[in-house]
Amino acid sequence: MAKLYHPEIGSERMESLVQMPGTRLIVSQLSLIEIQSVFATKVRTGVIGRASLDQLRGLFFSDLAKGRFEVVLLAHRHFQSAETLIRTHAVDYALRTLDAIQLSVALDLHHRGAASDLVAADKNLCHVAALEGLTVLNPSEGS
């Protein structure tokens, strides 16, 4: 999602994906925190300055207020599913905790027919999502 707010590898592909007719941008509640962490990392690593941090946060929260994203609230079932995903995939595929929670939300949406694809750039997350039966679009790889 950060690719929509700051140019990086995959930003152009991400823009084209979100502009496709009929595209719904669904994010978990966790994404609202994770994107701020991504922006802060960009400051800490010198990619952007502090003024840009405030600007990126403002753009994101403005889009959120305008309804650009549908936000799925986390539920107990998502944490239960994430625990199962960790038990199943963490050893072999280095699935991390927050990625497991994000994936559990995506799988829940997929099983309910509310979402068809997962868009993510993390290779481990993409691999596990595919193993779990999701169609994965990695904008950084153009796939």
Residue 25 inside a domain? The answer is yes
Q: What pTM value is reported for the model?
A: 0.92
Residue 142 inside a domain? The answer is no
Q: Which of 7-11, 39-43, 73-77 has the lowest mean pLDDT?
A: 7-11
Residue 31 inside a domain? The answer is yes
pLDDT at residue 33, rounded to an integer:
97
Question: Nearest CA to 32 among 82, 69, 77?
Answer: 69
Residue 73 inside a domain? The answer is yes
pLDDT at residue 142, rounded to an integer:
54
Residue 29 inside a domain? The answer is yes
The answer on pLDDT for 52 being more than 60 is yes
Residue 117 inside a domain? The answer is yes
Q: Span 113-134, mean pLDDT? A: 95
Residue 143 inside a domain? The answer is no
In sequence order, what are the beta bridge partners of 26? 70
Question: What Rg, from alpha-carbon coordinates, does the chain have?
Answer: 15
Domain count, the chain: 1
Q: What CATH number does residue 7 fall under?
A: 3.40.50.1010
**Which position has the higher pLDDT, 18 or 120?**
120
Cβ–Cβ under 8 Å, residues 48 and 59: no
Q: Span 9-35, mean pLDDT? A: 92
Residue 131 inside a domain? The answer is yes
Structural domain boundaries, residue 125: 2-137
H helices of 25-96, where? 29-44, 50-65, 76-93
Q: What is the DSSP letter of 48?
A: S
CA dist., res. 16 & res. 122, Å (int): 19
pLDDT band at 143 (very low <50, low <70, confident <90, very high): very low
Q: Span 72-91, mean pLDDT? A: 98
